[in-house]
Amino acid sequence: MSDQWDLKILCMGAGYVGGPTMAVIAKMCPKVRVVVGDISQKQIDAWNTDVLPIYEPGLLDCVKESRGRNLFFSTDLDKEIDEADVIFISVNTPTKTQGIGAGAAANIKNCELCARHIAKIATSSKIVVEKSTVPVRTAEAIARILAANEKSDVTFQVLSNPEFLAEGTAMTDLMNPDRVLIGGPQTPAGLAAIETVAKVYATWIPRAQILTTNLWSSELSKLVANAFLAQRVSSINSISALCEATGADVSEISRAVGMDDRIGKRFLQPSVGFGGSCFQKDILNLVYLCETYGLQPCADYWRQVIQMNDFQKKRFSEKIVSSMFNTVTGKKITVLGYAFKADTGDVRETPAMFIVRDLLQENAKIHVYDPQVTREEMWLEMNYTCGVNHETNPRLDEHVVTATDPYEACKGSHAICIMTEWAEFKTYDYQKIYDAMEKPAFLFDGRLHLDHKALREIGFEVHAIGKPDPVKFPGSTIA
């Protein structure tokens, strides 16, 4: 700790977690110098403009408050590693695509590269904090790499401080977190390192919400939190299928079940399925861990959460095709929303992608409108996850059109699919949209987002997740 700063922090990884987390630390701790570093020049250049590389409500204002004061974005990692007292590792840890554990284990290659980079450069002692979501005992690997390269008078303490923010609400989550978790070695040096990091958070978060624990409990807690959240989504989604078969209404079930304090109201909203970069990856990671430790029944239990999610997405595509007289070939289908949830431009594992992929296979003409997602991001993810690209499908540009105007996207369409719960979708003039559509005009609501009664009065044929079909179950639609 030196010059005018109380502490110098470097965060390696300027993504959805590193950027917002560090912007909030910089805002709340003006005497801490915070640098967000990345190997991607493009990413860093964008953080230094007012067109940030990620969309998150409130983020730009927060960045602008501290940028150039005590918040900096840089690719000069060598210099910043050497200067930092505390280094957060917040790099991507995607599911492995090949080799041992492919399709399940998390690839911690980027974390290891960061550890090797720190070990090579550091000429003073550091606290190294895992913020990335990692398999249990990753800290051990990081600590070993660092220890193997320790120079005289240079020591490293490795901590775990998983991030619980949710995209779309990241800024409020970071300002008012339910808890902050810091795990570390239960040794005098480890406990001192935990206290250094805890003090940063304590600037704006009550101490009672800053939990400290050992490394392995901290690493595992993050995986378990995401597994529990995803499990609730899959649980209610499984019930949505049963509701459609029986004439029950899934919203009524959520209401009745959620009023039980032991269960709670949140995360009981059915949908076309969960997406995002974390839920599936973290559950697969948990499954792989269970298998590694010989706990096959535990692995099977958690894998089912993902299988239910896949079932829900597939069910939605099948519902579209079967409702539209078993064929969508040549029909214009409008997809409203492509991001995996509202208030983010993130398309990783977005359910919309799987629906578009399925409709492409049926030779539909798909028009997509999303207020934040660019065509480039859409195709990057589609290629990475589904292997669909311009080489495998030379007529891709003809079959999938991205629109900048929702009314244009819906004009002449046979069906509309609501894939993301963007607030603006509620404000559209659906009479105008209906008038410009082919008839019967179908609307498939994958988010239970719109007023179905009003849409039916206009003339739409509405199909919604977990809702009774008024033709099949007359008298069951809730007034």
Ligand X SMILES: NC(=O)c1ccc[n+]([C@@H]2O[C@H](COP(=O)([O-])OP(=O)(O)OC[C@H]3O[C@@H](n4cnc5c(N)ncnc54)[C@H](O)[C@@H]3O)[C@@H](O)[C@H]2O)c1
- List, as residue ranges, the binding site for NAD(+): 13-18, 38, 91-95, 132-133, 167, 278-281, 348
Which of the ranges 39-47, 143-151, 262-270, 316-324 carries the binding residues for ligand X, by CB under 6 A?
39-47
* Shortest Å, Cβ 43 to ligand X: 5
Of residues 41-60, which lie at the interface with ligand X (CB under 6 A)? 43
Nearer to ligand X, 20 or 468 (CB): 20
Q: Which residue has the tokens 């089912």?
A: 304
95, 107, 132, 221: residue in contact with ligand X (rule CB under 6 A): 132
Question: Is residue 133 a contact point for ligand X (CB under 6 A)?
Answer: yes
Q: Which of 109, 141, 125 is nearest to 193 (CA)?
A: 125
Phi, psi at residue 420, to the nearest 5°? -135, 145
Residue 290 a catalytic site member: no
Site for ligand X (CB under 6 A): which residue of 25, 81, 91, 139?
A: 91
Closest CB to ligand X among residues 4, 41: 41
Q: How far apart are CA 106 and CA 77, in angstroms?
A: 24
**Using CB under 6 A, which of 9, 17, 115, 418 touches ligand X?**
17
Region from 32-40, 309-317, 396-404, 413-421 binding ligand X, contact rule CB under 6 A: 32-40
d(CA 340, CA 187) in angstroms, rounded, equals: 42
Please state the closest distance from residue 217 (CB atom) to ligand X, in A: 17
Choosing from 13, 270, 371, 466, the residue that interacts with ligand X (CB under 6 A) is 13
Quick one: which segment of 12-20, 296-304, 394-402, 437-445 binds ligand X (CB under 6 A)?
Answer: 12-20
> Closest by alpha carbon to 43, among 77, 82, 81, 86?
77
Could you tell me the CA-to-CA distances from 308 to 237, 242, 280, 311 in Å, in that order?
Answer: 8, 13, 11, 5
Cβ proximity to ligand X: between 364 and 378 the closer is 378
Among 80, 163, 349, 421, binds ligand X (CB under 6 A): 163
**Which of these, 130, 132, 116, lies nearest to 197 by C-alpha position?**
130
Shortest CB 66 distance to ligand X, Å: 19
Position 362 contacts ligand X (CB under 6 A): no
Does 227 bind ligand X (CB under 6 A)? Our answer is no
Starting at the edge strand that comes first in sequence, how are the strands of the sheet with 7-12 ordered?
A: 71-74, 32-37, 7-12, 86-89, 126-130, 156-160, 180-183, 210-213
Number of residues counted as binding ligand X (CB under 6 A)? 26
Considering the complex, state which of residue 77 and residue 443 has its C-beta at the smaller distance from ligand X.
Answer: 77
- Determine, following the binding rule CB under 6 A, whether residue 182 of this chain makes contact with ligand X: no
> Is beta strand 32-37 parallel, antiparallel or unpaired with respect to 71-74?
parallel
Which of 87, 146, 158, 165: binder of ligand X (CB under 6 A)?
165
Cα(366)–Cα(350) distance, integer angstroms:
16
Nearest alpha carbon to residue 26 among 75, 62, 74, 79: 62
Strands 32-37 and 126-130: unpaired
- Length of the chain in terms of residues written: 479
DSSP assignment of 371-437, as one string?
A: SS--HHHHHHHHHHHH---TTT-TTHHHHEEE-S-HHHHHTT-SEEEE-S--GGGGGS-HHHHHHTS
| Cβ 108 to ligand X shortest distance, Å | 9
Window 364 to 423, contacts with ligand X (CB under 6 A): none
Q: Which of 28, 39, 143, 189 binds ligand X (CB under 6 A)?
A: 39
Dihedral angle sign, alpha carbons of residues 401, 405, 410, 411 = negative
Instruction: List the strands of the sheet with 442-445, edge to edge.
Output: 400-402, 365-369, 332-336, 415-418, 442-445, 461-464
Q: Is 103 left (phi over 0), alpha (psi -120 to 50) or beta?
A: left
In the list 40, 124, 172, 176, the residue contacting ligand X (rule: CB under 6 A) is 40
Residues 95-114 that bind ligand X (CB under 6 A): 110, 113-114
Q: In a 10 Å sphere around its CB, with 0-12 CB exposed, 13-18 middle and 19+ buried, how is residue 65 labelled? A: middle
Kindly name the residue from 62, 114, 278, 410 that is annotated as catalytic: 278
Residue from 7, 9, 10, 14 touching ligand X (CB under 6 A): that is 14
Q: With respect to ligand X, which residue has the nearer C-beta, 133 or 334?
A: 133
Q: Which residues are catalytic?
A: 278
Q: Residues interacting with ligand X, by CB under 6 A?
A: 12-18, 37-40, 43, 90-93, 110, 113-114, 132-133, 163, 165, 167, 277-278
